[in-house]
């Protein structure tokens, strides 16, 4: 008995707290390491982003005076722009690195679409999206190209996640209880979806049936405040951002499948985090 108690005390003392390094996009764009130190920042607000294996960062830049239609930009750690594609409509809300130095991006506007652009800036693929056009800002968010060549697209105001083929045909869709922001196709065929102002995350099976959800009713202190970005870790846990969180409030939280909180992140920045990428030793971990 005493040996078991001693072992329990040893494990409790020696267990290291869960920490993550991450790239944050939003009003501020920065990389934070596992110790809590900001190791890199870019002086432009952003919508989406990825740290590549060579250390460069691919960003969807928010619309601004310099980029009235938003932009997709690849920058190095010194801030030098290595690739730039300026949006031609209202906003660029998505970027995704693809093989052969190709970039996927979405354009919101009167002609909502996905583009694939090569390193020379040439558009090599265009996929029209069937989305409402009365509110450009609430058309789409984190669109992703799937391993099968199709595209998974959360459509906020339409309250639906759709899978499109390269011609723009809808092959699959799942209705959502609130505006979907992030949709992640999991290895088992299910889809994980962050539902923004609904303050909830759901998982649906291939038929679109909900098989799991987490809301503020499941968590102490109701920490979810605009569940935009979502990340499924390799260990099966889920990290959620609260885009509307303010200084001193929880901006990222990691939960287990049975809805236990194992990690939270707060800072003194005024704004929340729009989307994020959890960074492991290889520069990326899990699915987003």
pLDDT band (50, 70, 90) for residue 7: very low
- Of the two residues 280 and 109, the one the predictor is more confident about is 109
Q: Is residue 170 a part of any domain in this protein?
A: yes
The residue segments making up the domain with residue 70 are 20-279
pLDDT band (50, 70, 90) for residue 282: very low
Q: pTM for the full model?
A: 0.91
Give the pLDDT of residue 280: 77
For all residues of the chain together, what is the average pLDDT?
93
DSSP letters, the chain, are -HHHHHHHHHHHHHPPPP--EEEEEESSEEEE-TTS-EEEEESS-EEEEEE-TTS-EEEEEPP-SS-TT-EEEEE-TT--EEEEEE-SSSEEEEEEEETTTEEEEEEESSS-EEEEE-TTS-EEEEEE-----S-GGGSB-B-EE-TTS-EEEEETTTTEEEEE-TTS-EEEEEE-SS---EEEE-TTS-EEEE-BTT-EEEEE-TTS-EEEEEEGGGSTT---SSEEEEEE-TTS-EEEEETT--TTS--EEEE-TT--EEEEE--S-SS-EEEEEEE-TTS--SB-
pLDDT band (50, 70, 90) for residue 217: very high
Q: Is residue 259 a part of any domain in this protein?
A: yes
Q: Is residue 138 a part of any domain in this protein?
A: yes
Residue 15 has pLDDT above 70, yes or no: no
Residue 220 has pLDDT above 50, yes or no: yes
Q: Is residue 91 a part of any domain in this protein?
A: yes
Task: Quote the number of domains for the chain.
Answer: 1
CATH number for the domain harbouring residue 172 = 2.120.10.30
Q: Is residue 131 a part of any domain in this protein?
A: yes
Q: What is the mean pLDDT of residues 257-284?
A: 88
Give the pLDDT of residue 287: 84
Give the pLDDT of residue 17: 64
Q: Is residue 56 a part of any domain in this protein?
A: yes
Q: Is residue 5 a part of any domain in this protein?
A: no
Q: Is residue 12 a part of any domain in this protein?
A: no
Residue 13 has pLDDT above 60, yes or no: no
Q: What is the mean pLDDT of residues 198-213?
A: 98
């Amino acid at each position: 008995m005493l040996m078991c108690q001693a072992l329990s005390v040893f494990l409790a003392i020696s267990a290291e707290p869960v920490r993550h390094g991450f790239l944050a996009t939003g009003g501020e764009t920065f990389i934070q390491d596992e110790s809590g130190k900001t190791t890199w920042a870019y002086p432009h607000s952003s919508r989406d982003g990825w740290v590549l294996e060579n250390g460069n960062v691919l960003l969807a830049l928010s619309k601004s005076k310099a980029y009235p239609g938003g932009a997709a930009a690849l920058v190095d750690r010194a801030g030098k722009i290595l690739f730039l594609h300026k949006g031609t409509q209202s906003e660029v809300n998505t970027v995704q690195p693809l093989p052969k130095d190709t970039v996927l991006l979405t354009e919101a506007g009167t002609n909502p679409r996905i583009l694939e652009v090569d390193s020379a800036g040439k558009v090599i693929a265009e996929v029209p999206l069937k989305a409402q056009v009365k509110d450009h800002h609430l058309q789409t968010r984190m669109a992703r190209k799937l391993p099968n060549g199709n595209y998974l697209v959360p459509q906020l105001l339409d309250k639906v996640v759709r899978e499109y083929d390269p011609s723009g045909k809808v092959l699959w869709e799942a209705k959502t209880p609130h505006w979907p922001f992030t949709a992640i196709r999991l290895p088992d065929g299910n889809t994980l979806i962050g539902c923004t102002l609904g303050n909830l995350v759901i998982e649906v099976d291939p038929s679109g049936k909900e098989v799991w959800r987490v809301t503020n009713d499941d968590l102490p202190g109701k920490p979810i405040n605009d569940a935009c970005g979502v990340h499924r870790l390799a260990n099966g846990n889920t990290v959620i951002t609260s885009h509307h969180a303010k200084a001193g409030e929880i901006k990222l939280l990691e939960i287990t499948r049975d809805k236990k909180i194992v990690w939270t992140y707060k800072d003194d920045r005024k704004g929340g985090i729009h989307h994020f990428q959890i960074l492991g030793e290889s520069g990326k971990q899990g699915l987003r």
